[in-house]
Amino acid sequence: MNRKILTVFAGAMAAALMTCAAMAADENTVSVAAWDKNFNIPALEAAAADYKANVNPDFNLEIIEQSQSQDVENAITTAGSSGDYSNLPDIVLFQDHYIQRYVADYPDAWINIDDAGIDWSDFGEEKLSYSTIDGVHYGVPVDNGTVIFAYRIDLLEEAGYTLEDVTGISWDQFIEIGKKVYETTGKYLLSTDGDGNDLPYMMLQAEGISQFKDGKPFITENEKMVAVISKIVEMAQNNVLYLANDWSDYTDQTIVGDMVAGVMNGNWIIPTIEQVAENSGKWEITSMPTLEGGEGYAANGGSSLYVTSNCKNPELAKDFLAKTFGAGSFATYDDALRNGGVITCSISAGQSEVYQEGVPYFNDQPIYAKIVEMGANVPVVEQNDFHYTCRQYVASAIQQALMGTDVESALKDAEDQLNFAMEG
């Protein structure tokens, strides 16, 4: 599909979204555009039921389901380009890694929600760092992107290790354990999508470092970055890490296909792990390794809810968000977890009885409380609109290094390409 057709298609999708939004009903109705009928939509339905039952019995949440996050982004772009926001829905779900660019490009599309009555200290600083721009709160966190490291404890035991042996360790120690696991079980201790490759970002964030510094690429002069990529190459060369060809290979072959003894990614990877019914009770989760040793924390993915400038009843929209996803009630997040697997970003909501329950698939470990606890410790690192572009070039650098190019030269090439893309 060529660029012109894509643009027309995107505009049509945005128009459809806005037409639906324009049908907003009365003073008790709030419209919201979101995607993913198995994840985000159940979470919104849980919030609507909670608010209706406990705050406003006449409340109605009009959910405008989108096929993907890009549909919402296209709607904002179309409205912003024309300077006409009059048909946007009241609230939109927006990806964390993209929102700052859209607030910068279309500042008139959003409203300040500082006065929503939310205890912002109840959320981890890293999660709020996306939706807080120039000290102003624009969004309410929804799903928790905290990274988990899940291990097959039966396979660790077969190789002579326990979960404690892989907790708080260095990547060098991890590599030695990984070699033994592969030698003993034939399983890789880790895999990643070698085409997109979130792994460097997660490993670097656990060190408290970004791939950007003061708005510019921070790669070749970033000692931590060079060390991280060197460890990834070493892992791949020693059968510790499997670099999948693409996302499907990563999820369907390495995880569901049972090639690995460990999975490290945003906690949204849990439903993929759980697809292998026969492995129930064999998994547990912990934190990440770090370069020097010690427990590492990172986040990958996630989204938040934003009130648009076209909101017909901003006070109702803000009150709805504050008393549901803003942790005004634990019922929203309890039901969102039960019905859609959405894990709260609220520290207090993570202390509910539902979150303390053991999860049978993970050997009755209370993993959801653990994830919320880890999420509060994720360090804030510099973000950039070119996050995904950087990821692409770094993934290419890893492939170059595996084919014989020294790591520093491969990263220099990646940095040069990223600088060119950012200047273009």
User: Three-state DSSP class for 327?
Assistant: coil
> What does residue 140 show for φ and ψ, rounded to 5 degrees?
-110, 120
Whether residues 259 and 212 fall in one domain: yes
pLDDT of amino acid 4: 35
pLDDT of amino acid 12: 46
Q: Quick one: average pLDDT of 305-334?
A: 95
pLDDT of 19 higher than 70: no
Whether residues 174 and 154 fall in one domain: yes
Residue 25 has a CB neighbour count (10 Å cut-off) of: 11
Whether residues 169 and 141 fall in one domain: no
Per-residue pLDDT tens digits for 333-379:
999 999 988 999 999 999 999 999 999 999 999 999 999 999 999 99
pLDDT of 67 higher than 70: yes
In-domain check, residue 89: yes
Whether residues 131 and 70 fall in one domain: yes
pLDDT band of residue 5 (cuts 50, 70, 90) is very low
CB-based contact 224:296 (threshold 8 Å): no
Give strand pairing partners of 304.
Answer: 94, 141
Question: In whole angstroms, how far apart are CA 398 and each of 36, 371, 392, 393, 423?
Answer: 32, 29, 10, 9, 23
Contact partners, residue 106, CB within 8 Å, separation at least 6: 76, 77, 79, 80
Whether residues 311 and 388 fall in one domain: no
Per-residue pLDDT tens digits for 239-298:
999 999 999 999 999 999 999 999 999 998 998 999 999 999 999 999 999 999 999 999
pLDDT of amino acid 392: 94
In-domain check, residue 361: no
Q: Quick one: average pLDDT of 89-106?
A: 94
Whether residues 100 and 173 fall in one domain: no
Q: Quick one: average pLDDT of 139-166?
A: 97
pTM over 0.85: yes
Whether residues 293 and 317 fall in one domain: no
C-alpha triplet 271, 305, 59: angle, nearest 5°? 100
- Domain membership of residue 123 as a residue range: 3-145+301-351
- Average pLDDT in the chain: 92
pLDDT of 102 higher than 80: yes
pLDDT of amino acid 7: 39
Secondary structure letter of residue 8 according to DSSP: H
Least confident residue range of 94-98, 110-114, 250-254: 94-98
pLDDT band of residue 307 (cuts 50, 70, 90) is very high
Whether residues 209 and 238 fall in one domain: yes
pLDDT of amino acid 196: 76
User: Three-state DSSP class for 392?
Assistant: helix
Report the share of the chain in percent with pLDDT over 90.
87
pLDDT of amino acid 347: 93
Whether residues 35 and 49 fall in one domain: yes
pLDDT of amino acid 197: 78
pLDDT of amino acid 25: 56
- Domain count within the chain: 2
Whether residues 255 and 318 fall in one domain: no
Question: In whole angstroms, how far apart are CA 25 and each of 31, 45, 398?
Answer: 9, 18, 53
| CA nearest to 234, candidates 282, 273, 199 | 199
pLDDT of amino acid 17: 54
Rounded Cα distance between 384 and 285, Å, is 30
pLDDT of 188 higher than 60: yes
pLDDT of 3 higher than 50: no
Instruction: Cite the beta strand spans of 103-161 per DSSP E.
Output: 132-133, 136-137, 139-141, 147-152
In-domain check, residue 84: yes
Contact partners, residue 373, CB within 8 Å, separation at least 6: 350
Pairing of strands 132-133, 216-217: unpaired
Whether residues 97 and 212 fall in one domain: no
Whether residues 194 and 283 fall in one domain: yes
Report the share of the chain in percent with pLDDT over 70.
94
In-domain check, residue 373: no
pLDDT band of residue 328 (cuts 50, 70, 90) is confident
Q: Quick one: average pLDDT of 205-210?
A: 97
CB-based contact 381:222 (threshold 8 Å): no
Supply the CATH number for residue 392's domain: 3.40.190.10
In-domain check, residue 372: no
In-domain check, residue 67: yes
In-domain check, residue 107: yes
In-domain check, residue 138: yes
